[in-house]
Amino acid sequence: MLIFEHSSKGRQGAPQSPVEKASISAIPENLLRKDSAALPEVSELQAVRHYTRLSQKNFSIDTEFYPLGSCTMKYNPRACNTLAMLPGFLNAHPLTPDEQNQGFLSCMYDLQSMLCEATGMAAFSLAPMAGAQGEFSGVAMIDAYHKSRGEHERKEILIPDAAHGTNPATAVMCGFKVREIPTLDNGDVDIDALKQCVGPQTAGLMLTNPSTLGVFERNIEAIAKVIHDAGGLLYYDGANLNAILGKIRPGDMGFDVIHSNLHKTFSTPHGGGGPGSGAVGVAKRLIPFLPLPTVTQEDGNYRYLTAKDCPQSIGRLSAFMGNPGVLLRAFIYMRFLGREGMVRVAEFATLNANYMMAEAKRRGFTLAIDHRRASHEFIITLKNEARDYHVSAMDFAKRLLDLGYHAPTTYFPLLVPECLLIEPTESEAKEALDGFMDALEQILHEAETNPELLHAAPQTLPVKRLDEVRAAKQLDLTYKMS
């Protein structure tokens, strides 16, 4: 039932607004609204009960194992939420003079510094609102850099075919042409093909390392050399930073610009879709182009840097500075972990993934890339099962939901047919991993003996499989209250 269907005309049960409506008759009549907006009229209790019940229809990290590859669904420590919501932070107006905003600004300055150290970059901007906006700033900086050197012909961005969809979408948004680079069967970039593609038109390469195939790009130095020799710059999509935190740094691998999804590696909550942060870090030569604002410090006083300080900046990406509430949560998380905790993140995320990969193989699954180390995630391909039993990765995913596990990422990366991209993260205990592998094994057996069970899944959730074709054809995007 929708909240609108709980509505009764004239009901108002919340002491939340001024009781009387002040006069607005000084506003010219033609500029006023003629009738009230058709919002639900419910009591506070009805609203509380409705949304509490809705929440119970979600899977979440707090309630289920959620091994969604590429998304790093690790525990979101409760204290990060509580402490980011202290009144001193919540009541801070974004345009508060810097002198009165020192508590917040000091956290942001420290966060920038810690991100620099963790990634080996020279400077960071916290302005991008999510990974995709981090990518946007990175590619826009690459563009600005080339233009500042008079190299206007660099209009092409190279992107491996394994890349996330945001990479090509971003390059196009920034006005570039995209050229795809093939990937070898062992998961590494096809470096011979790459060499064929570079030239004076090359602005840069966007690379995820470890890649979305769940393996470390072993030829990263050679790749960096090919790109740099051609005059291009190297962009690091930091979605998989969790795998290498404290072990190897993008800056040391030769990347010129990176984004980090703080809502992945640094544990800020995904919130059912966002908000996130795509903090962007750069090597020295790109510092002048960083998006605004950033935070600086002089003699213990913190202040925002703006366009006056940074005339070459690519500019602003939003009205203020990124998502401060998210940034605070990441800062708190980093202070919890400390330098020693960062290294442990990579170690245990990698341990969990390699353990599950070994177990998957032992239990008869086909790995997309065999005989290599997994990073913090790995891929099972169900192409044989699809051929032999007519079950798909989607069927496996839906059946997992019935067994109380959130499904891994399916059908991404696009290169691997019928794939499950599995990322356990470091915060899951061995029992959870074993339980999940037992469930997968059970489903494999069911696929052989009773594939109908998979096709009909899920059976235990609030709804069965939903008609997506109908959703797109008979568009119903808003409820109209009569």
Partner 1 sequence: MPFIPHTEQEITQMLATIGVDSMEDLFDEIPAHLRAPELKAIPKGMTEMEVSRLMHQRADKNTKALCFLGAGAYQHHIPAAVWEITTRGEFYSAYTPYQAEASQGTLQLTYEFQSMIAALTAMDVSNASMYDGASSLAEAILMSVRANRKSKSRKILIPTSVNPVYRKTAETIVKGQQIDLVEVPYDGSTGTVTLEQIKQQGEGDITAVVLQQPNFFGCLEAVDEITNWAHDNNILVIAVVNPLLITVLNPPGQWGVSGVDIACGDGQPLGAPMSAGGPYYGLLCCKQALVRQMPGRIVGRTVDLDGKEGFVLTLQAREQHIRRSKATSNICTNQGLVVTASTIHMAIMGAKGLENTAAACFANNNLLVEKLTAISGVKKAFSGTHFHETVLQLDVNAAQVLRALMAKGILGGFDLSEDYPELGTAIMVCTTEMRSEADIEAYATAMQEVLAAGVVSAEKVPATPEVV
Ligand X SMILES: Cc1ncc(COP(=O)(O)O)c(C=O)c1O
Q: How far is the CB of 228 from ligand X (least distance, A)?
A: 23
Indicate which of partner 1, ligand X, none lies near residue 311 (CB less than 5 to 8 Å, by partner kind): none
Count of residues of this chain found to bind ligand X when the rule CB under 6 A is applied = 13
Tell whether residue 237 is a contact of ligand X (CB under 6 A).
yes
Indicate which of ligand X, partner 1, none lies near residue 406 (CB less than 5 to 8 Å, by partner kind): partner 1
Q: How far is CA 478 from CA 2, 254, 274, in A?
A: 11, 48, 21
Residue 239 exposure: Cα atoms within 13 Å on the Cβ side: 25
Tell whether residue 278 is a contact of ligand X (CB under 6 A).
yes
Indicate which of partner 1, ligand X, none lies near residue 383 (CB less than 5 to 8 Å, by partner kind): none
User: Which amino acid would we find at residue 103?
Assistant: G
Indicate which of ligand X, partner 1, none lies near residue 9 (CB less than 5 to 8 Å, by partner kind): none
Residue 394 exposed, middle or buried by CB count within 10 Å (0-12, 13-18, 19+): middle
Tell which positions 196-235 bind ligand X, by CB under 6 A.
208, 212
What is the three-class DSSP state of 320? coil
Which CB atom, from 244 or from 444, has the smaller least distance to partner 1?
A: 244
Residue whose entry in the numeric block shows the structure tokens 């009569």: 482
Tell me the residue number closest to ligand X, measured at CB: 131
Indicate which of partner 1, ligand X, none lies near residue 116 (CB less than 5 to 8 Å, by partner kind): partner 1
Closest to 132 in 3D by CA, of 158, 181, 169: 169
Q: How far is the CB of 416 from ligand X (least distance, A)?
A: 14
Q: How far is CA 11 from CA 22, 43, 176, 271, in A?
A: 20, 7, 54, 30
Residue 379 exposed, middle or buried by CB count within 10 Å (0-12, 13-18, 19+): buried
Count of other CB atoms within 10 angstroms of residue 312: 14
Q: How far is the CB of 72 from partner 1 (least distance, A)?
A: 10
Q: How far is the CB of 22 from partner 1 (least distance, A)?
A: 4
Q: How far is the CB of 414 from ligand X (least distance, A)?
A: 12
Indicate which of partner 1, ligand X, none lies near residue 136 (CB less than 5 to 8 Å, by partner kind): partner 1
Tell whether residue 164 is a contact of ligand X (CB under 6 A).
yes
Indicate which of ligand X, partner 1, none lies near residue 298 (CB less than 5 to 8 Å, by partner kind): none
Which CB atom, from 127 or from 198, has the smaller least distance to partner 1?
A: 127
User: Which amino acid would we find at residue 267?
Assistant: S
Distance of CA 59 to the CA centre of its chain: 18
Q: How far is the CB of 254 from partner 1 (least distance, A)?
A: 9
Q: Which two tokens stand for residue 102?
A: 């020192």
Residue 39 exposed, middle or buried by CB count within 10 Å (0-12, 13-18, 19+): exposed
Q: How far is the CB of 215 from ligand X (least distance, A)?
A: 14
Indicate which of partner 1, ligand X, none lies near residue 316 (CB less than 5 to 8 Å, by partner kind): partner 1
Which CB atom, from 109 or from 124, has the smaller least distance to ligand X?
A: 124
For the chain, give the number of residues: 482
Count of other CB atoms within 10 angstroms of residue 380: 24
Residue 341 exposed, middle or buried by CB count within 10 Å (0-12, 13-18, 19+): middle
Which CB atom, from 347 or from 441, has the smaller least distance to partner 1?
A: 347
Which CB atom, from 210 or from 232, has the smaller least distance to ligand X?
A: 210
Q: How far is the CB of 1 from partner 1 (least distance, A)?
A: 9
Tell which positions 119-158 bind ligand X, by CB under 6 A.
130-132
Indicate which of partner 1, ligand X, none lies near residue 21 (CB less than 5 to 8 Å, by partner kind): partner 1
Q: How far is the CB of 412 from ligand X (least distance, A)?
A: 8
Across the beta sheet with 419-422, the strand order is 366-367, 378-381, 419-422, 409-410
Q: Let me know the angle formed at the C-alpha of 306 by 300 and 312, rounded to the nearest 5 degrees.
A: 120
Which CB atom, from 166 or from 427, has the smaller least distance to ligand X?
A: 166
- Enumerate binding residues for ligand X (CB under 6 A): 70, 130-132, 164, 166, 208, 212, 237, 239, 261, 276, 278
